[in-house]
Amino acid sequence: MSVQNEPCIFILGLSSDIGRELARRYLAQGWRVWGTYRHDRTGPGLDKMTCFPCDVTDSTSVQSLMAFCREVGLRWDVFVGAVGTEKPIGPFFNCDFNSWEQSIQANALGLLRVLHGLYSFRASADSACVLFAGTGTNNAAVNYSAYSASKIFLIKMCEILAAEEPDLNAFIIGPGVVRTKIHRQTLDAGRRSGANYEKVVRFLESSDPGVSHDEIFECINWCIEAGRSVVGGRNISLVHDAWRHGGERLKTYLRADEDMYKLRRYKNAYLPISGSHRD
């Protein structure tokens, strides 16, 4: 981490629920918190953070952010990408394509534009890049194509960054179902959400707390502590992977298998006993 007394975390999307809650927790542990907001910069503890407005879909806005970071001498230890939108919701061919393209910008390309610009502001050779995966990794996310495709994009980019950059621990976390305001988009979309509408309504009306922000905080810290040799380029499922119980054994498996928790098509070499074109 940084040679400074206080490590620094940069959160792209402080105004998101996850971004705000992570900021609160890192502040409580003595970290310096930098980050961005798009519209709303209100919230507890914001006066203790260095905040700057940024719309990741606007290259001019991102350039202004870079100029600000350069001027004030930002040096970050951990980068967190917490921006995103599920819109437009609905079948691909029913979506306005301009809105669909804008979603890809917001969820993936704009986020990566900021990371690309901030890369030179790393504080040390073991800096970490934390991204968030979403629905659709293992199935077809019907009616959420822009959001899902963006998350798959980020999963692969984490693997590429980890392979290309020996001084960056890039990993992505699938947080599971979290009680955040992003669910309002599904409710607002109504029938365009398909079967997911009732699923979200049942969750929000239930007593199920979902995944807590404390769990997200703990999972990120486990990944940072584990380091690049363990989690670099991986997609870690907060809910399903044994990072909390049996974490040391999981580290051993991950070090031994570079294909674990990455986008892969297995058994490409498989051929049936008969009927093969090689027979």
pLDDT in tens, 26-84: 999 999 999 999 876 655 566 678 999 999 999 999 999 999 999 999 999 999 999 99
Q: Where are the domains of the chain?
A: 8-256
Average pLDDT over residues 149-161: 97
The candidate with the shortest Cα–Cα distance to 249, out of 225, 230, 221, is: 230
Does the domain spanning 8-256 belong to CATH 3.30.870.10?
A: no
CB 19 within 8 A of CB 80: yes
- Round to the nearest angstrom and report the end-to-end CA distance of the chain: 56
CA dist., res. 11 & res. 37, Å (int): 9
Mean per-residue pLDDT over the chain, rounded: 92
* pTM of the predicted structure, to 2 decimals: 0.92
The candidate with the shortest Cα–Cα distance to 11, out of 90, 65, 89, is: 65
